[in-house]
Chain A
Amino acid sequence: MGERRKRARKSHADLARLVLDMTRERGMRPGAHLSEQVFAESCAVSRTPIRAAFKMLSENGFLTARPGGGYALAIDADAPGALATARLDTQEDALAEMILADRAARRLDDAPSVSFLARRYSVSRVAVLNALKILQAEGIIDRLPGQSWCFRPILDTPRALADSHQFRLALEPQAILTPGFALDPRRALVLRRQMQEMRAAGEGRIAAAAFARLDAEFHGLIARGAANAFMRDALLAHHRLRLITERDSGVPEFRLRQSLQEHLDILDSLERYQFDIAADQMALHLRLSRNPRPDAANRGGPPLLRLPGAALRAGPP
């Protein structure tokens, strides 16, 4: 598959995932009609890519084509596993995704061999190599001399999460302050609508995975606006890593809505060209987003009296 076609497919797959998230946030039931116009407006794209996303969802069983034209929701979006969308990926992307998921789930060693991976996934060595090259480009695995590959650190331990937080706190506000920072206004508009819609979703309707995708999009938008190429690239690579390996889903819904509001406030400041305020808001947002977990015992255990100034742990004891 050519690079352009691959990119187009990935873009349609991303849009398709967004459409599915929205059906759930809107509480749509099986059989509900999906309007091209409405979803095109919500996603701030033309009807052509929406049509392509609908077609992809229909081909993968999420939607059904109606005899008279248009599409209806074919699944119960609230049912467990209903929105598992790995089948929207290309074969190579899907394999890369599986390898990464297995790495994050601690099923694979630090340096798996190509032949082991080929056996595990029942695919050819060439397919494994292609998937590993995708992960290499994402900065997730390194090729060592010879035929071996070695995973780089991912966000799978309390320490790694703490390091990630520190890294973002150092760079993200500074990215906004780079002279020449420029927000992509079209993309900002799209994200604003999506975040407003998610924030307005009913109680219990915000899915952690959908939030994580939107959160990565927002922080990616900020990174792309930086006028410093090294900062931009470092942040984009890190946000990709977060999206695919961070698996902390214990954030209460109240905080998710609050976090979306903080994103919107940052966008407001950026659109008013108040970059110093936006940078401060970003620092505050990141500090508030550091998910605290108690340093305390269960019932029956004496509580740990934490001294003032002691650092929060990134994960539960």
Chain B
Amino acid sequence: MTRPPVVALFPEASFGAALNCVAIAQALRAQGAVPVFICHPGFTGIFVEYGFREYHLHPAARPGPAAAPEDHWQGFINRHLPHFDLSPFDQLATYVGPTWAAIVDTAIAAEPSLGETIARIRPDAIVLDNVIMFPAIANAGCPWIRVVSCAETEIADPRVPPYLSGLDAGDRAECDAFRREYRRVTATASARYGALRRAHGLTPLKPGVFLELSPAMNLLLAPSILRHDRAHPLPAQRLRYLEGCVRTEARYDVPVLPANDGPLVYLSFGSLGAIDTALITRMIGVFADIPARFLVNVGGFPDAYRQVPDNVYLAGWFPQPSVVAQCDLFIHHGGNNSFCEALHAGVPSLVMPYCWDGHDNGRRAETTGTGRRLDRAGWSDADLRAAILGLLADAPMRARLGANAERMRADPGPQAAAAAILGVIDESAVGRDTPRARTGHGA
């Protein structure tokens, strides 16, 4: 008697990772597996709406005075919004260091509940799309698969610029200085994380590293057009590059605007970026005089906008893959999912990064000729207008991106990821000599 393999997906509590995992889960379901989600409390109900069962972690009490979640979130925003105008180097001490400390806090808090949850699910494999390893996953007794849905810079290499730096690998001195400062600002978090690992029987990782490669399989969301030439190639037998990872969404009909002429431009800085209503308001002011139509994701802050121009349409949420497929330019923050969705649709990117791997993808868009980067703090109206019109008029870039999109669509990432995951389960079942998890799928 066999049963379909159960795959527990555990995405980081971010839109990018969550929706990336939804795409993989949709493909796993189509290939006969039973995907379920281990869910951060902030994502309750998200995966259910895509038809997947959710298992919830119980949040341990946070250290410090009790605060309503909304207050906690608002506090985070108020504290960090000014930091997003800083250079990647200056963000290390102000944003990256504190954020790693918070991520380690969540890993420590989640550990007991995560162990219990995995024991309840009894998965045949765990898919981890995160930036930190949880000891409960390493000790779960089943193979785990790492998904790197951040920029490829997350996996260090001498020829790859340092993670979160936005640098070019050729800037040796700057890269070295960034790496040193990164290790310095993450030293305390690294030490605390090392203690957590030791307490659960795992070897601590190198300073500044919070997640190792999986011994079973690693899935990198790094389309060929963006990929770096590595000094030390990643181990081919436990690695699968994904040419995009785009989920299926309901169809989106672009609304008819009062000024309904011209190409379609989509602006989304993600859920975190939508908090910067002053930036988006200023951009909308520039859009008003550009002969194009603009769809603008304003997240939960529609109240911040008045007198919206006739060629601009605001909404708190767009089914992004469906929208990007219909647009001519995507202005985003350099989140890896957004960048890959633009590439998958053959659409150029105007990247205005504010933190994390957005800096790396902004640089990569320029280097690979797949888009442009614009400093979110230092642009003039003329700069923004020129960047938009320049990208819309760049026929060679459009042709290059169109051909690349065809190549990406010929090798769909979700299906490749699902096959690789089921291949790992097959190998594991052979090793354990148990028939229950055999799938008949190859990697």
Question: A: which residues have CB within 8 A of B?
Answer: 80-81, 83-84, 86, 98, 101-102, 105-107, 109, 156-158, 203-209, 211, 247-256, 258, 291-308, 310, 312-313, 315-317
Further contacts, 18 of them, CB under 8 A, given A107-B308, A296-B15, A315-B317: A81-B254, A81-B256, A101-B255, A109-B307, A158-B300, A208-B319, A249-B315, A250-B316, A250-B318, A253-B249, A297-B13, A299-B131, A303-B13, A303-B106, A305-B40, A306-B42, A315-B316, A317-B299
CA distance A254 to B15 in the complex (A): 18
Chain A contact residues: helix, strand, loop or mixed: loop
- In the complex, the chain A residue whose C-beta lies closest to that of B39 is A294
Q: A105-B314, A107-B310 are in contact. Are A208 and B251 (CB under 8 A)?
A: yes
User: B250, A251: Cβ atoms under 8 Å?
Assistant: yes
Chain B residues within an 8 Å CB radius of A158: 300, 302, 316
- In the complex, the chain B residue whose C-beta lies closest to that of A247 is B315
Question: B: which residues have CB within 8 A of A?
Answer: 12-18, 40-46, 49-51, 58-60, 62, 68-70, 72-73, 76, 96, 99, 102-103, 105-106, 109, 131, 149-150, 164, 248-256, 258, 270-275, 299-300, 302-303, 305-310, 313-319, 326, 333, 335-336, 355-357
User: A83, B253: Cβ atoms under 8 Å?
Assistant: yes
Q: A302-B76, A302-B99 are in contact. Are A296 and B13 (CB under 8 A)?
A: yes
User: A304, B300: Cβ atoms under 8 Å?
Assistant: no
CA distance A212 to B442 in the complex (A): 42
Chain A residues within an 8 Å CB radius of B326: 80
Q: How far apart are A162's CB and chain B's nearest CB, in angstroms?
A: 11
Chain B residues within an 8 Å CB radius of A292: 44-46, 49
User: B335, A298: Cβ atoms under 8 Å?
Assistant: yes
User: B356, A307: Cβ atoms under 8 Å?
Assistant: no
User: B49, A295: Cβ atoms under 8 Å?
Assistant: no
User: B253, A81: Cβ atoms under 8 Å?
Assistant: yes
Chain B residues within an 8 Å CB radius of A306: 41-42, 44, 59, 69
CA distance A294 to B248 in the complex (A): 19
- In the complex, the chain A residue whose C-beta lies closest to that of B327 is A80
Q: How far apart are B423's CB and chain A's nearest CB, in angstroms?
A: 25
CA distance A308 to B41 in the complex (A): 8
CA distance A264 to B192 in the complex (A): 54
14 sampled A-B residue pairs with Cβ under 8 A: A106-B302, A106-B314, A157-B303, A203-B248, A207-B251, A249-B315, A249-B319, A293-B46, A293-B271, A294-B46, A299-B356, A301-B272, A307-B69, A317-B300
- In the complex, the chain A residue whose C-beta lies closest to that of B43 is A294
Q: How far apart are A151's CB and chain B's nearest CB, in angstroms?
A: 13
Q: How far apart are A262's CB and chain B's nearest CB, in angstroms?
A: 13
Chain B residues within an 8 Å CB radius of A102: 258
User: B306, A106: Cβ atoms under 8 Å?
Assistant: yes
Chain A residues within an 8 Å CB radius of B305: 106
Chain A residues within an 8 Å CB radius of B303: 157
Q: A252-B49, A295-B69, A300-B99 are in contact. Are A305 and B250 (CB under 8 A)?
A: no
Chain B contact residues: helix, strand, loop or mixed: loop
Chain B residues within an 8 Å CB radius of A308: 41, 58-59
Chain A residues within an 8 Å CB radius of B357: 299-300
CA distance A279 to B80 in the complex (A): 46
CA distance A315 to B308 in the complex (A): 20
User: A208, B106: Cβ atoms under 8 Å?
Assistant: no
Chain A residues within an 8 Å CB radius of B59: 305-308
Q: How far apart are B267's CB and chain A's nearest CB, in angstroms?
A: 15
User: A156, B252: Cβ atoms under 8 Å?
Assistant: no
Q: A206-B250, A302-B99 are in contact. Are A316 and B14 (CB under 8 A)?
A: no
- In the complex, the chain B residue whose C-beta lies closest to that of A156 is B302
Q: How far apart are A60's CB and chain B's nearest CB, in angstroms?
A: 14
User: B307, A106: Cβ atoms under 8 Å?
Assistant: yes
User: B250, A249: Cβ atoms under 8 Å?
Assistant: yes
User: B248, A204: Cβ atoms under 8 Å?
Assistant: yes
Q: Within the complex, which residue of B15, B249, B254 is in contact with A80, where a contact is CB–CB below 8 Å? A: B254
CA distance A250 to B16 in the complex (A): 15
User: B150, A299: Cβ atoms under 8 Å?
Assistant: yes
Chain B residues within an 8 Å CB radius of A316: 271, 274, 299-300, 316-317
Q: A296-B271, A298-B15 are in contact. Are A253 and B248 (CB under 8 A)?
A: yes
Q: How far apart are B422's CB and chain A's nearest CB, in angstroms?
A: 21
Q: How far apart are A208's CB and chain B's nearest CB, in angstroms?
A: 5
Q: How far apart are B373's CB and chain A's nearest CB, in angstroms?
A: 17
User: A298, B315: Cβ atoms under 8 Å?
Assistant: no
Q: How far apart are A277's CB and chain B's nearest CB, in angstroms?
A: 23
Q: A106-B308, A250-B318, A252-B250 are in contact. Are A310 and B68 (CB under 8 A)?
A: yes
Q: Within the complex, which residue of B249, B254, B335 is in contact with A252, where a contact is CB–CB below 8 Å? A: B249
User: B150, A295: Cβ atoms under 8 Å?
Assistant: no
Q: Within the complex, which residue of A205, A249, A307, A313 is in contact with B318, where a contact is CB–CB below 8 Å? A: A249
CA distance A128 to B252 in the complex (A): 31
Q: How far apart are A113's CB and chain B's nearest CB, in angstroms?
A: 15
Chain A residues within an 8 Å CB radius of B17: 299
Q: A208-B250, A248-B317 are in contact. Are A298 and B300 (CB under 8 A)?
A: no
- In the complex, the chain B residue whose C-beta lies closest to that of A292 is B45
Chain A residues within an 8 Å CB radius of B76: 297, 301-302, 304
Chain A residues within an 8 Å CB radius of B131: 299-300
User: A300, B355: Cβ atoms under 8 Å?
Assistant: yes
Q: Which 10 residue pairs across A and B have the least CB separation, nearest first?
A: A300-B356, A303-B13, A302-B102, A292-B45, A250-B317, A305-B59, A296-B42, A298-B272, A295-B42, A296-B13
User: A298, B275: Cβ atoms under 8 Å?
Assistant: no
CA distance A102 to B259 in the complex (A): 12
- In the complex, the chain A residue whose C-beta lies closest to that of B41 is A306
Chain A residues within an 8 Å CB radius of B313: 105
Q: How far apart are A293's CB and chain B's nearest CB, in angstroms?
A: 7
Q: A80-B326, A250-B317 are in contact. Are A298 and B252 (CB under 8 A)?
A: no
- In the complex, the chain A residue whose C-beta lies closest to that of B355 is A300
